[in-house]
Every structure is written in structure tokens, then in C-alpha cells.
Amino acid sequence: MDRFVIDGGRPLRGTIRISGAKNAALPILIATLLTDEPCLLENVPTKLRDIRLTIRVLEAIGKCVDVSGSRVFVHADKPLKTRAPYDLVKQMRASVLVAGPLLARFGWVRVPIPGGCAIGVRPIDIHIKGFEDLGARRVLEQGDLILDSPLRPGRVRFKFPSVGATENLMMAAAAVAGTTVIVNAAREPEIEDLGSFLAAMGARVSGAGTSTVTIRGSRTLRGAKHSVIPDRIETGTYMLAAAATQGSLRLAGAEPAHLKALIAKMRAAGAAVREGRGRIAVSMKGRPRPVSVVTAPHPGFPTDLQAPWMAWMSLAQGSSRIREEVFENRFMHAAELSRMGARIALSGETASVHGVPGLSGAPIMASDLRAGAALLVAALAAPGRTTVQRVYHIDRGYERIEAKLRAAGARIRRVRR
Ligand code: UD1
């Protein structure tokens, strides 16, 4: 298991180029299962572990995938299977997204039910209820979910705007002739991007990115070309790292419209944030003012930036509160930040963060992807040496992170096991 060794306390300066969004590339890659024709995807963060795993899932189902830089060419040379292998699904929950396209095309699919993970139980009941609303029957066998019977178009109403369930149902609806309406859909930018790809494949999609998505599907979808949106969570993480190190960074290829909640909160805390076309610049002097946040589905404050936000607020001139409303167990980073001198008290879904003048380097461990990102933000800001263990979590979602940070002046190196 690799680890990062960071000598912190140095301001980040310069320009970092943002990669394509992992959480958009992932469902879009899976949506290629909707056609036998070739698809070309650009701006895919192909170095990420989760994207590599998604490609393996596609290959296990029968697609051929050629990767060249950030371009991915997906085609098929044999009939597709309607099963996803457990050893891949258990490594990446989002593999369950293959259920929608395969069920819609072939009327039968078998996927292992993903287990819980470090940030909560994470059931898939909203996905399943959506498929049932479109006529699927379900059977549970040996920990696998089997869905069968042909889908029909219809109306699906979610009890919560789940990102994954919205994507799964959109992909299914795209391959079912007739009009399907998804009510209380997730509104994340990644949903909008998937909607654009499905439209390029020949589905009629309206309302993607709003709470009601309408899809007029077609039994035969065509191959398409698409360029993935920039990663707003990667962007937000570097914005917070720039602020926490009292530096000045430009994020090239970023999309400010996707980060309104973070930008507003960072300005309230005292950071200077400039928005341009395809770029964001952040600079910060001194410690932030304490600013409280509550996570919520988009356009609220993203749960994926809650942990890096906590790292910055650990250094505030006063106390703030962070309420996690999306996942039930997403404060694993608090104890690790405390090892670096942060003062954080947890009570249920609320963290009270009492700012300290400075953090100090320590050996720490990443428990999940965004917790790992928070520890990096803290380590970059903290004078002294920090060793971050279990870097594989960070590698799931941040492409070439040490190279990008080094180019901005950070002292960070990867030690291979
Ligand atoms: C996606 C993102 C993840 C982000 C999350 C919320 C990807 C690959 N991952 O995850 O980075 O943190 O959105 O913005 O895009 N839930 C249920 N039943 C379900 C589905 C979800 O109870 O059937 C609950 C989950 O346990 C969780 C909440 O709803 O508490 C949000 O989950 P969801 O929006 O589905 O997130 P993901 O798609 O898993």
C-alpha cells in the first residue's frame, strides 16, 4: 500500500489543470452498454482507479475498450453478458449502474448487491423501486439481485434524489420505447452530462439537471462521441488546498457554475475567488472566518467536499458547525485531523469545529476517498512532516495528484510499499 510523505506549511501557487469528472465519466462509460455501435469519450480521467475498474466491468460484460490518454473508445465484438462479476462490484459500488442499461436492453440482469462501505450502509432500494415502477420483477439469489421482465415506459418518483438511482433509471428509460418521467430526480451536473450523452445516442432527454427528467427512449440507440465535464470535486479540493495553505492557485479547465455553493461559502470565510470562463482563481491570506455548512443534494453544499471543508475550518478564527445530511457516517476524517491538532467534537451528524492557529504534521490514515483528500489539505497546510497511509483511497478519485500538487509548489512524494 502506497503512502504520501508531505512536508507541509508551504503555500500552493501557480496553475493546476482539472481532469474530467470521475462521477460523470463513470455512468457515461456504462451507458455505452446501450448500443452495439462504437462510442468515443474524451476528457476521461483514465488514470483513476475507479475508471480502470469501470473499464474492467465493461470488458467483463463483453465490450472492447481502447484507452489513449484521456480518450476512451468503446466497441463490441461479441454479444454482451447480462451479469456483472462480484469481484468487481465489491470493489466499486457504482458497478450497479450496469443494471439499468442491461435490463432495458435484454429484459434480464443479474448484479451482486453492493455491500456497505466506510461512509455508510448505502442501500440500492431507490434504484430497485424505480425498476419495479417500470415493470421489473426482482428476485434475490445468493446475494445477487436478479431483475427480469421487459420494462415499459412509466412514471418513477424517488423518495430521495439519489444520484446513482437517477442515472440507472435514465439509462434504462433511454432504451425503452415511449416516455418515462423521473420525479424528484437528482440535479447534479453529472446527471446533466449523462443526459447529453444519452441524447447524442438518440434518446430524447429533457430536464436533466432539474428535479423532473423526461426521457423518450428508443429500442435502438446509436454510437456517439462525447467530452466529459470537468471534475467539480477535484476543483473544489484544490480550491480548499489553496486557501488552507494561504496560497494562490488558478484551476484551469474548471467550471465555476458547478461550484456555486462552495464559492459562496469560501468567500464568506474570506477567500478571494475569481470566476472566469473555464477557470477559477483562489487566493487567501491568513486564517479563515468560521463558516458553517450543511451538506445537501446539488445545488446544495456537496457532501464530497465536506471533509476538505472541515480541514480548512480546523484553522478558522473561531468555531463553526458542519452538518452531514447525505451520508450517515461521513466523519471518519475528524479523528485523523485531531491527530494533527484539530479540535473537533462529533455529535451524531454534526461536527463542531473549534479553529486552532495551526496544525502540525503527524502520521495519519485515509479511510475513504474524500476523507483522504481532507487529510491531504490539512497536511499541505501543516508545518512539519505528515505521512498519509492508504493512498489507494485517494487514487480512486484524484488523477496524478502528487504531480499536480508538486507543480504548484507542494513537497509531496509517494512511497511505494
Ligand atoms: C454519488 C457519488 C458520490 C456522492 C453522492 C452524493 C458517484 C459515483 N458517486 O454516489 O461521490 O457522494 O453521489 O452526492 O457518482 N440511498 C438510499 N437508497 C438508494 C440510493 C441511495 O438510501 O437506493 C442513500 C445513500 O445511502 C446515501 C444517499 O442516499 O445516504 C445519497 O446516495 P446517492 O445520491 O445515491 O449517491 P451515490 O450515487 O451512491
How does pLDDT run across 297-316, given as a tens digit for each residue?
Answer: 999 999 999 999 999 999 99
Output the CA 122–ligand 1 centroid distance in Å: 7
pLDDT of residue 20: 98
pLDDT, tens only, 15-24 = 999 999 999 9
pLDDT band at 133 (very low <50, low <70, confident <90, very high): very high
Asked whether 66 and 252 are in contact (CB, 8 A), the reply is no
pLDDT band at 117 (very low <50, low <70, confident <90, very high): low
Query: Which string of DSSP letters, residue by residue, matches 246-276?
Result: T-EEEEET--GGGGHHHHHHHHHTT-EEEEE
Cα–Cα distance between 250 and 248 in angstroms, integer? Answer: 7
Ligand 1 pocket residue status of 128, Cβ below 6 Å? no
pLDDT of residue 359: 98
Q: Does residue 207 surpass a pLDDT of 90?
A: yes
Residue having the nearest C-alpha atom to atom 21 of ligand 1: 162
Mapping DSSP to helix (H, G, I), strand (E, B) and coil, where does residue 110 land?
Answer: strand
pLDDT of residue 93: 87
The DSSP element (H or E) to which 169 belongs, if any, is: helix 163-174
Output the CA 162–ligand 1 centroid distance in Å: 5
Query: SS in 3 state form for 2-63?
Result: CEEEEEECCCCEEEEECCECHHHHHHHHHHHHHCCCCEEEECCCCCCHHHHHHHHHHHHHCE
Q: Does residue 116 surpass a pLDDT of 70?
A: no
Report the topology of domain 22-227: UDP-n-acetylglucosamine1-carboxyvinyl-transferase; Chain (3.65.10)
Query: Which string of DSSP letters, residue by residue, matches 111-148?
Result: EEPP--BTTB----HHHHHHHHHTT-EEEEETTEEEEE
The DSSP element (H or E) to which 279 belongs, if any, is: strand 279-283
pLDDT of residue 406: 98
Ligand 1 pocket residue status of 396, Cβ below 6 Å? no
pLDDT of residue 37: 97
Ligand 1 pocket residue status of 276, Cβ below 6 Å? no
Cα–Cα distance between 410 and 400 in angstroms, integer? Answer: 13
Ligand 1 pocket residue status of 168, Cβ below 6 Å? no
Residue having the nearest C-alpha atom to atom 4 of ligand 1: 304
Asked whether 293 and 322 are in contact (CB, 8 A), the reply is yes
% the chain with pLDDT above 90? 91
Global confidence as pTM: 0.97
pLDDT band at 329 (very low <50, low <70, confident <90, very high): confident
Q: Which residue has the cell 453544499?
A: 301
Q: What is the mean pLDDT of the chain?
A: 96
Report which DSSP code applies to 382.
S
Which amino acid does the sequence have at 109? V
Note whether 3-19+230-415 and 22-227 share their fold: yes
For a pocket test of ligand 1, which of 91, 95, 160 has the largest count of ligand atoms closer than 8 A to its C-beta? Answer: 160
Ligand 1 pocket residue status of 310, Cβ below 6 Å? no
CA Rg, the chain, in Å?
21
- CA dist 132 → 111, 125, 169, 214 (Å): 16, 10, 11, 18
pLDDT band at 91 (very low <50, low <70, confident <90, very high): confident
pLDDT, tens only, 375-400 = 999 999 999 999 999 999 999 999 99
Q: Which of 40, 113, 117, 407 is catalytic?
A: 117
Q: Does residue 121 surpass a pLDDT of 80?
A: no
pLDDT, tens only, 56-70 = 999 999 999 999 999
Structural domain spans, the chain: 3-19+230-415, 22-227
Ligand 1 pocket residue status of 163, Cβ below 6 Å? yes
117 has catalytic annotation: yes
pLDDT band at 119 (very low <50, low <70, confident <90, very high): low
Q: Are strands 71-76 and 39-42 parallel, antiparallel or unpaired?
A: antiparallel
Mapping DSSP to helix (H, G, I), strand (E, B) and coil, where does residue 237 land?
Answer: helix
* CATH number 3.40.50.150 given to 3-19+230-415: no
